[in-house]
Structure 1
Amino acid sequence: MSKVCIPQGYKTPLSVYEMQRAIEFIKSNFQVNLGNALNLRRVSAPLFVEENSGLNDNLNGVERPVSFDIPDVHATGQVVHSLAKWKRLALKRYQFHPGKGLFTDMNAIRRDEVVDNLHSIYVDQWDWEKVILREDRTESYLRQTVRAIMGAVCETNDALDIAFPSLHTRIDRDVYFISTQELEDRFPDLTPKQREDAICREHHTVFLMQIGGNLKRSGQPHDGRAPDYDDWQLNGDILLWNPVLERSFEISSMGIRVDEAALDRQLTASGCDDRRTLPFHRMLLAGELPLTIGGGIGQSRLCMMMIGTCHIGEVQASLWDPETVQTCESAGIMLL
Structure 2
Amino acid sequence: MGITKTIDEALRTLDDLARSLRKVRSDRGALDLNIPEAKVVLDQKGHPVDIQRSQRLESHRLVEDFMILANEVVAADMETRELSAIYRIHEPPVSESTESLRELITRVGYKLPKGRSLKPKDLQQLLDQVRGHPVEALISRVVLRSLSKARYDTRNLSHFGLASPGYLHFTSPIRRYPDLMVHREVIRSFIHEEEKIDGDLETLQSIAEHSSSREQEAAEAERSSVNLKKVEFMEGHLGKEFIGQISGVAAYGFFVTLDTYFVDGLVHVNSLRDDFYLLDRDAYAIIGERGHRRYRIGDRVRVQVSRVDKEARHVDFSLVRKMAWKD
Q: Scaled by the length of structure 1, what TM-score is found?
A: 0.24
Q: TM-score, normalised by structure 2?
A: 0.25
Instruction: State the structure with bigger RCO (CA 8 A, min sep 6), 1 or 2.
Output: 1
